[in-house]
Amino acid sequence: SKDVVIKAQVLAGGRGKGQFESGLKGGVKIAYSSDEAKTIATKMIGHKLITKQTGDAGVLCNKVMISERLYPRREYYFAITMDPSSMGPIIIASNQGGVDIETVAAETPEAIVKQPIDITTGLSHDTALSVARQLGFNPEYIDQATDTIQKLYQVFIENDALMVEINPMTEDSNGNVYCMDAKVKLDTSALFRHKNLADLRDWSQEDPRDVAASQADLNYIGLDGTIGCLVNGAGLAMSTMDIIKLHGGSPANFLDVGGGATANQVTQAFKIISSDSHVNAILVNIFGGIMRCDVIAKGIIAATEQLNLKIPIVVRLQGTRVEDAKAAIAESKFHILACDDLDEAAKLAVKVASIVTLAREAAVDVDFTLPI
pLDDT, tens only, 330-347? 888 787 888 889 999 999
Distance of CA 230 to the CA centre of its chain: 18
- The CB density around residue 221, as the number of other CB atoms within 10 Å, is 14
Distances (CA, A) of 109 to 113, 114, 127, 271: 9, 11, 21, 46
**CA separation for the pair 9, 28 (Å, rounded):** 10
- At residue 261, what are phi and psi to the nearest 5 degrees? -70, 145
Active site residue 165: yes
Q: Is the pLDDT of residue 262 over 80?
A: no
Give the DSSP letter string of 294-352. Answer: HHHHHHHHHHHHHHT--S-EEEEEEETTHHHHHHHHHHSSS-EEEESSHHHHHHHHHHH
User: Please, is 320 exposed, middle or buried when counting C-beta atoms within 10 Å of its C-beta (0-12, 13-18, 19+)?
Assistant: middle
Active-site residue (options: 75, 76, 77, 171): 77
> How does DSSP classify residue 98?
S
Q: What is the mean pLDDT of residues 275-279?
A: 90
Q: What is the mean pLDDT of residues 298-321?
A: 87
CB 170 within 8 A of CB 76: yes
Active site residue 77: yes
**CA separation for the pair 200, 196 (Å, rounded):** 7
Q: Which amino acid is at 135?
A: L
**CA separation for the pair 230, 221 (Å, rounded):** 11
Give SS3 for 278: coil
Average pLDDT along the chain: 89
pLDDT digits (tens, 9 = 90+) for 60-94: 999 999 999 998 999 999 999 999 999 999 999 99
pLDDT digits (tens, 9 = 90+) for 148-171: 999 999 999 999 999 999 999 999
Q: For residue 187, which of 172, 200, 176, 197 has the smallest C-alpha distance?
A: 197
**CA separation for the pair 69, 175 (Å, rounded):** 16
- At residue 108, what are phi and psi to the nearest 5 degrees? -135, 70
pLDDT digits (tens, 9 = 90+) for 117-140: 999 999 999 999 999 999 999 888
Active-site residue (options: 75, 76, 141, 165): 165
CB 253 within 8 A of CB 221: yes
- At residue 220, what are phi and psi to the nearest 5 degrees? -130, 135
Q: What is the mean pLDDT of residues 355-359?
A: 88
- At residue 129, what are phi and psi to the nearest 5 degrees? -65, -40
- The CB density around residue 73, as the number of other CB atoms within 10 Å, is 11
